Amino acid sequence: MVQFKQIFLGEKPEYKRVITVQHCIRAGGKHNDLEDVGKDNYHHTFFEMMGNWSFGDYFKEEAIKYAFEFLTEVCNLNTERLYVTVYDEMDKESRAIWKKYLPESRIVSAGQKDNFWEMGEFGPCGPCTEIHYDRIGGRDASALVNQDDPNVLEIWNIVFMEFNRTPHGLIDLDVKKIDTGIGLERLLSILMEVKSNYQIDTFIEIIKSTEEETCGEKYDDLGTTNKTVAFRVVADHARTLAICLYYGVSFGNEGIGYVLRRILRRAVRFASEVLQIRENSLSKIVQKAADCLELGQVDVSQIDAEENMFKQTLKKGILQFDKLVKDNRLTSESVFKLYDTYGFPRDLTELMAQEKGVICETKDFEKHLQEQKERSKTKKETPITIELQFDGTDDSFKYDEKQVELDAKLLVCIKENELVEFDKAESGETYQLIFNRTNMYGECGGQVGDTGTIEFIKENKKVGEFTVVDTKILRNYIVHYGKLEGVVTEKVVIRRDQERRMKIRNNHSTCHILGDLVTVYIDEDAEQQGSYVDEFKCTYDFNYSGKITDEKLKVLEDAVNEFIKSNSPVEVLSMSKKEVAENNVHLMPNVKYPDPLRIIKMTHVNGMVFMEPCGGTHISKSSMIRKVRIVSEAAVSGGRRRIICVSGELADECDLNADEAKKSIENGTLARLEDKQMSVYMKRRLTVLNRDLIRKKNKAITERISTLVEETQNEILLNKLNSINTKTNKVILKEIDELKTDKKTQVKAMALVCECFAKKEMDAFVTMKVGEEVLVAAFRKNGKEIYKKIAEKYEKMRVSRDMLQGTLLQNKLSNFKSEVFE
């Protein structure tokens, strides 16, 4: 129901009745079937959901009637095998309606757990009635309903959406709505008269493909071994991977990309560890799944790259598993750590434990998971779910760059999802405000929301000020987040932070120019996978396998700046979908666009024309951006790259940083590159120059150490000839000037010099002053016992290569020498 959530919350629907057949994935969030997949024959991460919807039209009577007629008259299911559940405590009507179609004995009472449906913590919800089917028949199966019996399964859920859950309880929705869902796979298994979803034609083809990649393993649908589970996991996950790749989803470290990564890793683990399929065969199985779903060719190269990367991390994960096992037992906390830190799903950890004969405790796993969710929840704002009885905010002024100030009327003041009366709003507190109109852009399409100030006016005088720190879209309203100082009035003046807006605007247009030129200079088939724009940078993600060379990056950056200098016009057009098709406007695949579309058109002086749909803010001519530098280019995940750019003053700063670093290297000083922002191409060049300088310095240091050793050996000979006249108390004192290098090399030099004396069994005390400290290397003939006592006394002293080595403060040097050579 996600696509209709705004309608459930009050938005006027285009249609009152809707029928859908949609691709659904349940692998994250509240409705998550990932851990159940493979253990039974009917749970899936991906399935096709059929459903019918009513937005203020028919309700319980008709919804139940339509469902019963479809199952018994269209699908010809045996009525005597149907059972239904109702939530009697909250829903008295459903039982009465079902009595018209089924005997009382097959109408089962259920509780909130099974028969109250809600999408999340807050939002639209309501009681439901579920239809269950007994595969066997000829018996009373009412006691098996909702008992996870594989032969008595739920096939249809009819939700009566009549409430909105808020932090303070349930509120009646003004317009009652219907949301139903019936899984295509479960229905097909019944119509094909097979006992398992994994025996329907599409699954069987994928399983056969999997069998061909093993060393003779065969799927047994009635089996209870790990191999049966593994076949199901691979088949199910292959379908999910295929559909996600078809829709352009890429693997990542957060959001849906991370969920997809978890699914692939679970498939890899079962495929390689249990079924032992051939190397990099999973991509073939995924393509077979795509063929069965009639998706055509999908980009399975990402599968191989991601699989190879996971197999490397899997080795590390297994090491962690072994480290966490104590007394042949793995605690719930350790199971959760493997899940949370190393990406091991719980069932895979349990499988590893079973294989290794380790006791795996999981009783507190859910507790740790819930605690993590609570920690995460506290970081988030309280969502706004209250119903508002106002027309939407007029935000057309957001595109007018001259409309920096705007008179408006305050409609709503909200705090923690509750309406606050204007005269009850307290100075110093944070609130969310909604106005009848605004000139601020609400966060959307990868562009951050505007900030600024709002003045409250009473009798033509300012009586309060609201500092806007963020602006977001809520249904058809624009919500302004911020802090109040003073009092609240209905009359306001909204002032947008125009300087910040101009930087965001420049970066958004930069993102479009960059994306268009990526298809020219990097890969013509590159598709945008995501973007983010704020006042500091623009981030552009796209699909691309392999590394982008420094040369290509330089060409791309130069091309972007050439486009900017060309002073190309940037136009905003409105086009119907027909005009979009006629003009070959580039659209992202599988994205639903409105009609008409807002189109951004950029025309280069050389004739290149780029057109894309966009609801963001933009420049009027390319020269307004002035300059762009690509400051980062890296892989986000297998088959996905990310480029980050800065523009204007920040691009100037990049050039200044690069120039300073270059001069530093030319003057013989290493440049600090890690904390300086600059063009990634220049940073990579300067890194090479830094390495060359290090090699030169190391060569000079090596030559100096060789000279020191040679001088020391000559000194030893001279001391022997002169009866060791230079000794003090029969100990040779050797002070070395500081070597301008790293500490590791300094210590090595000290050890080599001291070792020369040690080989001749001559007591020696070698020092090098470095800042406030002194590096020390000391040798005493037959001094091992003394070394041990001194090393215990002095924290930064150790015994190495039959000598004492370490660091001392200057004022400790004399005492230390006396203790060694007493």
- pLDDT, tens digit (0-9, with 9 covering 90-100), for 438-472: 999 999 989 999 999 999 999 999 999 999 999 99
Q: Which CATH class is domain 2-194?
A: alpha beta
Phi-psi region of 460 (alpha: psi -120 to 50; beta: other; left: phi over 0): left
Cα distance from N-terminal residue to C-terminal residue, the chain: 85
Burial category of 608 from C-beta neighbours within 10 Å (exposed 0-12, middle 13-18, buried 19 and up): middle
pLDDT, position 638: 63
- Alpha helix (H) ranges present in 678-812? 680-721, 743-759, 784-793
CATH class of 501-724: alpha beta
Q: How many CB atoms lie within 10 A of CB 738?
A: 11
How far apart are the C-alpha atoms of 301 and 298, rounded to whole Å?
A: 9
DSSP string of 350-418, one letter each residue? HHHHHHHT-EE--TTHHHHHHHHHHHHHHTSPPP------SPPPB-GGGG-TT--EEEEEEEEEEETTE
Confidence tier at 686 by pLDDT (50, 70, 90): confident
The yes-or-no verdict on residue 723 having pLDDT over 60 is: no
Contact present, 606 and 500 (Cβ < 8 Å):
no
Nearest of 766, 784, 790, 780 to residue 709 by alpha carbon = 766
pLDDT tens, 94-108?
Answer: 999 999 999 999 999
727-821 domain in CATH 3.10.310.30? yes
- Distance separating alpha carbons of residues 186 and 194, to the nearest angstrom: 10
Q: What confidence category does residue 751 fall into, taking pLDDT thresholds of 50, 70 and 90? A: confident
* Predicted confidence (pLDDT) at residue 692 exceeds the cutoff of 60: yes
CATH of domain 396-496: 2.40.30.130
Tens digit of pLDDT for each residue in 504-533?
Answer: 999 999 999 999 999 999 998 888 888 999
Q: Which residue matches tokens 């004022």?
A: 811
pLDDT of residue 721: 54
Mean pLDDT over 81-101 rounds to: 94
Q: Which residues touch 173 (CB under 8 Å, ≥6 apart)?
A: 8, 124, 161, 162, 163, 164, 387
pLDDT digit string, tens, across residues 301-354: 788 888 887 877 677 777 788 888 888 899 998 888 887 776 676 767 887 888
CB 318 within 8 A of CB 335: no
Q: Work out the number of other CB atoms within 10 angstroms of the CB of residue 724.
A: 13
Residue 194 in this model has a pLDDT that exceeds 50: yes
Contact yes or no for 478/442 (Cβ under 8 A): yes
> What is the longest distance spanned by two Cα atoms in the chain?
121
Of 47-51, 112-116, 743-747, which gets the smallest average pLDDT?
743-747
Q: For residue 44, say whether it is annotated as part of any ligand binding site.
A: no
Cβ atoms of 803 and 790 within 8 Å: the answer is: no
Q: Which residues pair with 415 in a beta bridge?
A: 418
Q: Identify the pLDDT of residue 370.
A: 76
pLDDT classification of 29: cutoffs 50, 70, 90 = low
Q: How far apart are CA 416 and CA 291, in angstroms?
A: 49
Put residue 99 in one of left, alpha, beta given phi > 0 → left and psi -120 to 50 → alpha. alpha
What count of other Cβ atoms lies within 10 Å of the Cβ of residue 298? Answer: 23
How much is the pLDDT for 461? Answer: 93
Q: Is 643 helix (H, G, I), strand (E, B) or coil?
A: strand
Which residues, 6 or more positions from 16, have their beta carbon under 8 angstroms from its beta carbon?
54, 55, 56, 57
The answer to pTM > 0.95 is: no
What average pLDDT does the chain have?
87
Q: Two tokens at 63?
A: 């919804």
- Compute the distance between CA of residue 777 and CA of residue 707 in angstroms, rounded to an integer: 18
Give the range among 162-166, 295-299, 420-424, 449-453 with minimum mean pLDDT: 295-299
pLDDT band at 719 (very low <50, low <70, confident <90, very high): low
Segment among 227-241, 349-363, 462-476 with least mean pLDDT: 349-363
d(CA 50, CA 61): 20
Is 614 within any annotated ligand binding site?
Answer: yes
Euclidean distance between CA atoms 272 and 281, whole angstroms: 10
Q: How many CB atoms lie within 10 A of CB 219?
A: 22
Q: What angle do CA 136, 140, 144 make, to 5 degrees?
A: 75
Helix axes 201-212, 226-246, angle to 10 degrees: 110
pLDDT score, position 379? 46
Q: Is the peptide bond before 596 cis (omega within 30 degrees of 0)?
A: yes
| Intervals of CATH 2.40.30.130 along the chain | 396-496
pLDDT band (50, 70, 90) for residue 254: low
pLDDT at 104: 94
43 is in an annotated binding site: no
pLDDT at 813: 86
Cα 117 to Cα 55, 376, 470, 503, distances in angstroms: 17, 23, 32, 45
Q: Where in the chain is the domain with CATH 3.30.980.10?
A: 501-724
What percent of the chain has pLDDT above 90?
49
Q: Give the residues across from 55 on adjacent strands.
A: 177
Question: In the numeric block, which tokens belong to residue 188?
Answer: 């097909």
Query: Where are the CATH 3.10.310.30 domain residues in the chain?
Result: 727-821
Is 618 marked within a binding site? yes
Rounded mean pLDDT of 631-658? 89
Distance CA 522, CA 517 (A): 8
